[in-house]
Structure 1
Amino acid sequence: MTMNDINTILKALPFINDDLIYFYNYHSNKIENNSLTLGETVTVLKDGFGVSKPLKDIRDVENHHRALHFVFELAKSQEPLSLRTIREIQALVEPERTGFRTQLVEILNTDVKTAEPFEISLRLEQILENYHRKDENKDEQDFFYKLAEFHIAFERIHPFIDGNGRTGRLLLNLELLKAGYSLTTIKFEDRPMYYDAFSDVEKMKILLEKSVQDTIEMIVEKAK
């Protein structure tokens, strides 16, 4: 299925439903080693019942749910991505650990050097400026390439003490939704490919396209 095929299908499908929301929430949290299963995620979010899992994991699912609905509202406004938007989303993801970090951090299992605390704001402004400049010059690079490039740069900066991965994937979906795509999930099963893609923009671009296609195929299958 080509991206043109996907775009055609998108026009004929509802963009978001509850199953897609629960699926996304589960996988984005699972990538960060959250212990809730998909069924438990649905139980917490849909039925409002407790599950026998660590309270932090339950809170992470609930907070992520609020952040995702905030992203839906932002997408409707078509407001350009900004530093304020990034901070607002992370504050919903990790309400007890908001604001840019003031200490050095490492990204586990990588040799990536994250930003020094004093340079976080400047580096974020730089990648936002670069992202919007490429948006103005649409022929320079395709949408998925520039989105992959932004995501890698954001995660390398790692601006927060916690919630960087979940916030970064919410930012991906904010831009996908604004561009007319559906809510898109990078699945836990694709985590090795996802981590590997942080070393190569083209790999991340391919993964994003795959994730969009996988999501659409899931929607089509459920609609049968």
Structure 2
Amino acid sequence: MSVKQAAKLWNISDRRVRVLCSEGKIPGIIKEGRAYKIPIGALKPVDERTFKGKNIPAEYEDLFKRIDSKKAELEKRRPLTKGELERLRDEFLIEFTYNSNAIEGSTLTLRETAMVLEGLTIDKKPLKEHLEAVGHKDAFEYIQELVSERVVLSEKIIKDIHSLVLIDRPQDRGVYRRLPVRIVGAKVDPPQPYLVESKIEELVKRYNSLDNKAHIIEKVARFHLDFEGIHTFIDGNGRTGRLILNLEIMKYGYPPISVKFTDRKKYYDCFHEYSEKCNASKMILMVAKYIEEEIDRYMLMLS
């Protein structure tokens, strides 16, 4: 398409489109003399002003801009009907519950998880796994309510999410661990029990103070690494952490993500890299990849 066509599509001036082309902000353009040819379907580059005042490392800048451009384009597409939204939510919830619980050792298959969430009982499968699936579903529905209310993350919310996740362990629900723990293969052990509360308080305070300085993708990925490193609860930390991750990205308009059971080694490698080298990039890139894939999936459905 021409510069004029792109300007009309993106609701910006011809001059602005030419500047974006000359600065290489639009992939795939062809220059013929003084004229530019822009690929049909090219996304409007994200407004640089949205990054003003933010501390975004150069290694993530292009990635975050691409994702935010896709997100802006998605938000312009026709709104989904209530029925379409509910179907997408239900399909995601089944996949998310299956993957998150499978990472922690559940033997329910994807199909069995769907059946359990419909209220059926799977023969020869432990009651514990049935309760874990139901608890995870309740926790996800709870964070959806929090997203609509735009609540600020707090210790209470973390404990509430954990209480729903650990439906099968009433004595441990929402209770910070009281025993020391070790993570197999890690060089650094989680903090001693008496330090857990202060560590969580500090983490939540630091996270909320970064609200306008870091991009949410980097911010939430780092929070996830630190939260899991504290090993806040005696059980259910992984599921709780992944729910918190989705709570925060959904508040910013991104679709929820499901860390795949098949990607669990890559997922664990992210924690290993952070623990051994204080390098958060693997987790940041993994979260970003999942978000971009979900946006692409929604865009394809609406095209």
TM-score by length of 1: 0.91
Q: CA deviation at 1:132?
A: 1.1
Residue in structure 2 matched with residue 20 of structure 1 by the alignment: 92
The question of whether the paired residues in 1 share the 8 Å contact of 2:217 and 2:249 is answered with no
The question of whether the paired residues in 2 share the 8 Å contact of 1:184 and 1:211 is answered with yes
Residue in structure 2 matched with residue 80 of structure 1 by the alignment: 152
Moved more, 195-204 or 169-178: 195-204
Residue in structure 2 matched with residue 202 of structure 1 by the alignment: 281
Residue in structure 2 matched with residue 126 of structure 1 by the alignment: 202
Residue in structure 2 matched with residue 104 of structure 1 by the alignment: 180
Residue segments in structure 2 that go unaligned for 5+ positions in a row: 1-62
Pick aligned residue for 1:58 from 130, 139, 145: 130
Counterpart-to-counterpart distance in 1, 2:70 and 2:258:
15
Relative to total residues, which structure has the larger helix share, 1 or 2? Answer: 1
The question of whether the paired residues in 2 share the 8 Å contact of 1:185 and 1:215 is answered with no
The question of whether the paired residues in 1 share the 8 Å contact of 2:216 and 2:249 is answered with no
The CA deviation string for residues 143-175 of structure 1, in whole angstroms up to 9 with x for no partner, is 211111111110010110000000000000000
Q: CA deviation at 1:10?
A: 3.8
The question of whether the paired residues in 1 share the 8 Å contact of 2:70 and 2:295 is answered with yes
Name the SS of the counterpart of 1:210 in structure 2: helix
Residue in structure 2 matched with residue 172 of structure 1 by the alignment: 245
Name the SS of the counterpart of 1:214 in structure 2: helix
Residue in structure 2 matched with residue 147 of structure 1 by the alignment: 220
The CA deviation string for residues 46-71 of structure 1, in whole angstroms up to 9 with x for no partner, is 3x211121211111011100111011
Counterpart residue identity of residue 184, structure 1: I
Does residue 8 of the first structure (1) align with residue 8 of the second (2)? Answer: no
Does residue 156 of the first structure (1) align with residue 229 of the second (2)? Answer: yes
Counterpart-to-counterpart distance in 2, 1:6 and 1:51:
40
Residue in structure 2 matched with residue 215 of structure 1 by the alignment: 294
Residue in structure 1 matched with residue 255 of structure 2 by the alignment: 182
Residue segments in structure 1 that go unaligned for 5+ positions in a row: none
Residue in structure 2 matched with residue 33 of structure 1 by the alignment: 105
Pick aligned residue for 1:113 from 158, 181, 189: 189
Residue in structure 2 matched with residue 70 of structure 1 by the alignment: 142
TM-score by length of 2: 0.68
Structure 1 residues 19 and 211 mapped into 2: Cα distance closer, same or farther (>3 Å)?
same
Counterpart-to-counterpart distance in 2, 1:19 and 1:158:
30
Structure 1 residues 41 and 222 mapped into 2: Cα distance closer, same or farther (>3 Å)?
farther
Structure 1 residues 44 and 102 mapped into 2: Cα distance closer, same or farther (>3 Å)?
same
Q: CA deviation at 1:142?
A: 1.9
Structure 1 residues 71 and 221 mapped into 2: Cα distance closer, same or farther (>3 Å)?
same
Q: CA deviation at 1:192?
A: 1.2
The question of whether the paired residues in 2 share the 8 Å contact of 1:115 and 1:159 is answered with no
CA root-mean-square deviation: 1.9
Structure 1 residues 186 and 117 mapped into 2: Cα distance closer, same or farther (>3 Å)?
same
Counterpart-to-counterpart distance in 1, 2:74 and 2:181:
39
Q: CA deviation at 1:221?
A: 5.2
The CA deviation string for residues 47-103 of structure 1, in whole angstroms up to 9 with x for no partner, is x21112121111101110011101111111111100011001001101322201100
